[in-house]
Structure 1
Amino acid sequence: MIETGIKGRQETIVTEENSAKAVGSGTLLVFATPAMIALIEETAWKSVASSLGEGEGTVGTKLDVAHISATPVGMKVWCETELTEVDRRRLVFTVAVYDEKGKIGEGTHERFIISNEKFMEKANAKKA
Structure 2
Amino acid sequence: MGEEISDDVMTAAGSQQLDAMFSALSDPTRRAIVARLAIGDATVNELAEPFKLSLPGISKHLKVLERSGLISRGRHAQFRPCHLEVQALDTAAGWIEESRRLWSERFDKLDQHLRTLQEPPNGDPSE
Q: TM-score, normalised by structure 2?
A: 0.24
Task: Please state which structure has a larger fraction of its residues in strand.
Answer: 1
Task: Please state which structure has a larger fraction of its residues in helix.
Answer: 2
Structure with larger Rg: 2
